[in-house]
Structure formats: C-alpha cells, structure tokens
Amino acid sequence: KAGVTQTPRYLIKTRGQQVTLSCSPISGHRSVSWYQQTPGQGLQFLFEYFSETQRNKGNFPGRFSGRQFSNSRSEMNVSTLELGDSALYLCASSQQERRAGELFFGEGSRLTVL
Amino acid sequence: KQEVTQIPAALSVPEGENLVLNCSFTDSAIYNLQWFRQDPGKGLTSLLLIQSSQREQTSGRLNASLDKSSGRSTLYIAASQPGDSATYLCAVRGNQGGKLIFGQGTELSVKP
C-alpha cells in the first residue's frame, strides 16, 4: 500500500511569488491535514480537510490556503511568499471512520524562499 | 491552551542501553497521544498511538505509556541501537478531534 505522497519534494521561490504543494493520501484515507515545520517554531498545524470540507484551521494568515478534491487529494497554496515561509511542509492522512485515527505523514515539501 | 513539552531536548547513549523519553502536556482532556520518529530531512514515521482510554501500547522494542491525570507519557526504548538515532516527537489531540499539538522533540543519538 503506497504511503502519503507529496510533490514537489524541494522547491525554491523568491519573495512575492506563490507556490502550490500537492498531497496524495493513503488509499482509502479521507482526511488530510497540513503542518509547517521550522527550526524555531517546530511543527504547527495549518488546516485539516475531510470529504472536501475544511474542518479545522490553524493560526496562519490568509495567504495560506488549501483545498481537497473528490479523490481526497489535497493542495495547499501560499501566496505572496515571505522569507519566513521557508519551511518543511508536511501532509498527513488518516482514516476517519473514528474521528481521531492514527496520522500518517508524507516526506514533506521543503520550500526555500529567497 | 494545550502545551506539550519534551524532556530532554537531546540525549546521547551507548548502544544497548534502555532509555526513556518523556512527554508532558498541560491539558489532560486529550483524545489520544501519538509518538513519531523523524530522521534528518525526512517526514514523520508513526511509532505508537495511545487512545485516551488506554494506559500503554507496545511495538517491538518500543513501549509507550500514558497517564492522563498527570499529563504525562513516556516512550521506553529497549536495547537501543545506532539505527534508533533520530528525533522523537510526541503529539496530542484534544477531545474535539482535529489538529495535533506537537512537542519540540528529543534528539536521540545512540553511539556504537
């Protein structure tokens, strides 16, 4: 069974640009959540989607947005990039037959903003 | 507001030693707690998930315990090996479900 797949793995952008990251969950998983990891702040929750609906949102500015498609794949977008957006962005999926199942993470997308 | 703390931040041990990693949380109203491992530059690998009604979970050389009333969890690693070297993270999920709150992690180094 394939794990959580994130693309691209690495990307470099400049300030002011925008970026879209993609996440394909484990087959059969309907919940996808996104986290940002930085050396200073650690792992912080961005948002969670279930059946194409955003169920939870973290304390990030509106420049950070996401969506989920009918096949459970998810994308997140960051507009008007800032230097501080440089981070490892991690996607996780879970089966939500029970509300709080085990989370499985992908390898992440490492974003560098110059 | 839930806060998760992991002590120590870093730990170095010789191969073969048994060790304990600690995780504490401020709000005992949790739904579950999950332990992860992260290798440098990689994503998170799930190790153990403990539901709030459980006291412990075991997988191979790993044993995780949960004491909700005191806001503590421990991860016990038996007979440590150099391949266990990684950062170990604990995360809790509140009763409302949804997001995980992570600790800052314990960086473990097992010396041959």
Query: Does the CB of B59 have a partner CB in chain A at under 8 Å?
Result: no
Distance from CA of B21 to the nearest CA of A (A): 18
The pLDDT of B26-36, averaged and rounded, is 93
Cα gap B62→B60, rounded to integer Å: 5
Average pLDDT across chain A, whole number: 93
pLDDT of residue A97: 54
Residue A98 is encoded by which pair of tokens?
């029970």
Query: Does the CB of A60 have a partner CB in chain B at under 8 Å?
Result: no
Nearest to A105 by CA among A31, A38, A16: A31
Contacting residues of A for B101, CB less than 8 Å apart: 45
- Angle value at C-alpha B73, between B70 and B85, nearest 5 degrees: 155
Residue A95 is encoded by which pair of tokens?
């089966």
In tens, the pLDDT along A65-90 reads 999 999 999 999 999 999 999 999 99
In tens, the pLDDT along A34-65 reads 999 999 899 999 999 998 999 889 999 999 99
Measured between CB atoms, which of A48, A56, A107 is closest to B43? A107
Residue B92 is encoded by which pair of tokens?
């809790």
Q: Please state, as a whole number, how many other Cβ atoms lie within 10 Å of the Cβ of residue A17.
A: 13
Distance from CA of B14 to the nearest CA of A (A): 27
pLDDT of residue B97: 63
Q: 3-state SS of chain B: helix, strand, coil percent to 5?
A: 5, 60, 40
% of chain B with per-residue pLDDT over 70: 98
B95, pLDDT greater than 80:
no
pLDDT of residue B1: 87
Report which of residues A48 and A101 the model is more confident about.
A48
Distance from CA of A109 to the nearest CA of B (A): 9
What DSSP string describes B72-101? EEEEEE-S--GGG-EEEEEEEEETT-S-EE
In tens, the pLDDT along A7-24 reads 999 999 999 999 999 999
CA atoms in the 13 A half-sphere facing the CB of A86: 11
